[in-house]
Amino acid sequence: MPATTLLRQRSRTLIAAATVPLALAALLADDVRVRRQLDAARKDPLTGLPGRDALMAHADRLARIHREQLHVLVADADGLKAVNDSLGHDVGDILIAAIGRRLGAWAGARGGLAARLGGDEFGAALLLPPAATTRELAGLRDLLEQPVEVGGHTLRPAVSIGTARAADLPGPTEPARLMRGADMAMYRVKTRQQQPGYLATRHDAYTPSVHGRRPGRPGTHLPVA
């Protein structure tokens, strides 16, 4: 084979080999862009917050960083139906958006993540020193219950917050288990079984579910212990 032909073939091989990493890099870049677009699409259009899946993933990451400081919160706006019935759903949506923005800013400032779980219910996962839990939760409640001005009306939201700390729950740290504990703690605060600032116990985290729903939710027909 002539030397010139051999050189051409080697050049083509080198060029082809060089283009593989470039093509792979372009493919990965496209994949990243697609995933970012999907993540953005999954955000709640009303509050701009991500959903439950993102919250669970963030809680799992935090558990690997510092399990002893991991807190998972569930917050529920009280009396939203009365706002919707008296002032309209548009006003109710403004109230939900305000609570979501406040929770998102609060959690983000602490390296955490907030999410809208559905309706008037929110969640958050973040790291807090155990000694600071009571103070931080009291501050969050005050923040979320600040008045919201809407069309000449002053709305004064009331929010029930439940918290589960990984340090309080023995055994492996499962974000779903922490979420169940926080949800149950929130329900106990909301129904005045416990005072604001209540922290989930192991019993709360292992409360049996009915079709994946917390006892006491509509449709479960299971009393709360």
CATH fold of 47-205: Alpha-Beta Plaits (3.30.70)
pLDDT at 39: 53
pTM: 0.76
77-107, pLDDT tens digit by residue?
Answer: 998 888 888 888 899 899 999 999 999 999 9
Question: Which of 148-162, 187-201, 202-216 is predicted with the least confidence, judged by mean pLDDT?
Answer: 202-216
66-77, pLDDT tens digit by residue?
Answer: 999 999 999 999
CB atoms within 10 A of CB 184: 27
- Region at 118 (left for phi over 0; alpha for psi -120 to 50; beta for the rest): left
What are the boundaries of each domain within the chain? 1-42, 47-205
pLDDT at 25: 54
The share of the chain scoring above pLDDT 70, in percent, equals: 74
* pLDDT(21) > 80: no
pLDDT band at residue 48 using 50, 70 and 90 as cut-offs: very high
Active site (annotated) includes residue 78:
no
Please state, in angstroms and as integers, the Cα–Cα distance from residue 223 to each residue in 25, 64, 74, following that order: 55, 35, 20
pLDDT at 4: 59
Per-residue DSSP letter, 130: G
Q: Enter the tokens of residue 13.
A: 């091989």
> Between residues 53 and 209, which one has the greater pLDDT?
53
- Out of 85, 90, 120, 204, the active site residue is 120
pLDDT band at residue 223 using 50, 70 and 90 as cut-offs: very low
pLDDT at 54: 96
pLDDT at 28: 55
Question: Which of 18-32, 59-73, 167-181 is predicted with the least confidence, judged by mean pLDDT?
Answer: 18-32
